[in-house]
Structure 1
């Protein structure tokens, strides 16, 4: 009889532990999902990652790629002033593009050896970037 009571007590303890772990996992999941809101503004965050969808294109001497329903995955890296732009559909990435914040929600490119217009905020991404005979364009939303 004592053996049966101890076995049932062990099962009850395991169930309580599993319930507790399930609750912790649920709370953690809710926190993770809420931290990736689409209204996060990349200008206001030290680190940022978000996907923008829309028309994208790339041209160079031998390549002409464009897609009306492409995407650009944007990450803000390092000191919070450098951005990486990872394009879909075989378009080469733009990495290490540096910006300075000027005013509210305005980013200005610095130290560029190319001709560029890049505007990024929580809802839109617009790129017209030319460097070394290569051109990237994007008109996307999130």
Structure 2
């Protein structure tokens, strides 16, 4: 009887610790791999001379240090060095000079980035 109480108490302590760790509200996007993976959908790029679009494209998101890289298929240049901040609805928005216009969650990626190198769009899911 005493051994079963110790087992139950131990299990409750482990579950409590897991719950406390998983419910942290001040998680920095740079500390999570929530976005890492491949999103599929409509993507496009233009630099004024070249126009590339793919209705069934893909964007692979990778984490490098505290920034993210967006690798496109079909000859579209990658976007690198992107940082995020959390918005009120649980999605994350890109911040930084020339890299704004990206909204991402675990299941959706929406992008309209315009800078000196061109314009990228994406409307993707995973």
TM over 0.5: yes
How far apart are the structure 1 equivalents of 2:103 and 2:98?
17
SS in structure 2 of the partner of residue 96 of structure 1: strand
| TM-score, with length taken from structure 2 | 0.68
1:54-105 Cα shifts (integer Å, max 9, x gaps): 10000012110000001000113313xx211000101000011111234462
Query: Which residue of the partner structure matches residue 86 of structure 2?
Result: 101
Query: Which residue of the partner structure matches residue 108 of structure 2?
Result: 124
Q: Taking structure 1 as reference, are residues 83 and 93 closer, same or farther at Cα in structure 2, changes over 3 Å only?
A: same
| Structure 2: runs of 5+ lacking an equivalent | 1-28
Query: Which residue of the partner structure matches residue 92 of structure 1?
Result: 77
How far apart are the structure 2 equivalents of 1:106 and 1:123?
10
SS in structure 2 of the partner of residue 72 of structure 1: strand
1:110-133 Cα shifts (integer Å, max 9, x gaps): 22235x321111111000000005
Aligned residue pairs total: 97
1:23-54 Cα shifts (integer Å, max 9, x gaps): xxxxxxxxxxxxxxxxxxxx596235210001
Please identify which structure carries the higher helix content: 1
How far apart are the structure 1 equivalents of 2:96 and 2:30?
21
Judge conservation of contact 2:54–2:74 (CA < 8 Å) in 1.
yes
Indicate whether 1:113 and 2:83 are aligned. no
| Structure 1: runs of 5+ lacking an equivalent | 1-42
**Structure whose CA Rg is larger:** 1
